[in-house]
Amino acid sequence: MSEQQNYEPKIVAFLCKWCSSAGSDLAGVSRIQYPANATPITVPCTGAISPMYILSAFNKGADGVLVSGCHIGDCHYIEGNYLARRKMHLIMQLIEFIGVEPNRFRMSWVSAAEGAKFAQVVTNFVDDLKPLGPQDKLKKAERA
């Protein structure tokens, strides 16, 4: 099962600029060690994340998708994360409805000061994704 042991899930992480992206920077600056599986994409606010981005990330081969933003009440744009909370809930329900493992989508609130938390969130996500194996349900196939 060495293939299984070598499997590294690919995570696409949509991080809001003001909190979570800064939090991930803090984790880096603080030299906190955590798995390097997440590819960060900075967005102005989680409220600006269209569900299309999540679906497209899975379509392009992501094994897991993380959305992370400011805590409720702390959104730089006041209401963005409230809207995200709703939209992400819907997309999460839809993903589960189709029969994709619900653990592949994750959402977290990580502030700019929570470098350690960010590292923990990613570590936990990687651990939870490994047993699920590569995502091939929504992934665009090369051949028909």
Partner 1 sequence: MEKILDKKQIDDWINALTDWEVHAPMLQDGIWTYQPVSGAVRLDHPNTNQSPKGFAFPQREIFFSFEQIKGEPPRLTQILPKEQRHAVFGVRPCDGRGVPRMDKVFTDHVEDPYYNARRKNVAYVGLACNKPPSPNCFCLSVGGSPVSTDGLDIQMTDMGDRYFVKAITETGKAMMAAGGKLFAEPAAADQKQVKQVHADAVAHPQRKINDPDGAPAKLKANFDSPLWQEMAQACIGCGICTFLCPTCHCFDINDEVQSKAPMKGQRVRTWDNCQFPDFTMHSSGHNPREGTGARLRQRVNHKFQYFHENFGMHQCTGCGRCISGCPVGIDIVTVVNKVTEHAG
Partner 2 sequence: MINIQDIRDTARDMLTKGEVRTVIGYRRGSRGMLAEPVFITDPAQADDLVWDPTCFHNLSLYLVHDRKFLTHIRQNPGVPVAIVAKGCDARSIVVLLQEHYFKREDIYIIGVSCEGTGVVDERKLSSQLNGFQASNAAFDGDDFVFTTAEGEKRLPAREVMADRCLECRVPFPKEHNVVFGEDKTGRQLEAPFAALTRFEAQGTAERWSFWQNHFDRCIRCFACRSVCPMCYCEECVVDSITFPVTTETTAEDKANRIRWIERSATRSENITYLMTRAMHLAGRCTDCGECERACPVNVPIRLLNNKMEREAREQFGFEPGASIGGPSLVASFLDNDPGQFIR
Residues in touch with partner 1 (CB under 8 A): 142-144
**Which two structure tokens, joined as six digits, stand for 68?**
């992370």
Taking the least distance from each CB to partner 2, the nearer of 26 and 57 is 57
Measured between alpha carbons, how far is 105 from 101 in angstroms, rounded to an integer?
8
**To 10 degrees, the CA torsion angle through 117, 123, 124, 125?**
110
Measuring CA to CA, which residue among 137, 136, 144 is closest to residue 97? 137
Q: Write down the least CB distance from residue 82 to partner 1, Å.
A: 36
**90 part of the interface to partner 2, by CB under 8 A:** yes
> Least Å distance between CB 2 and partner 2?
26
- Stretch 97-116 residues interacting with partner 2 (CB under 8 A): 97-102, 106-109
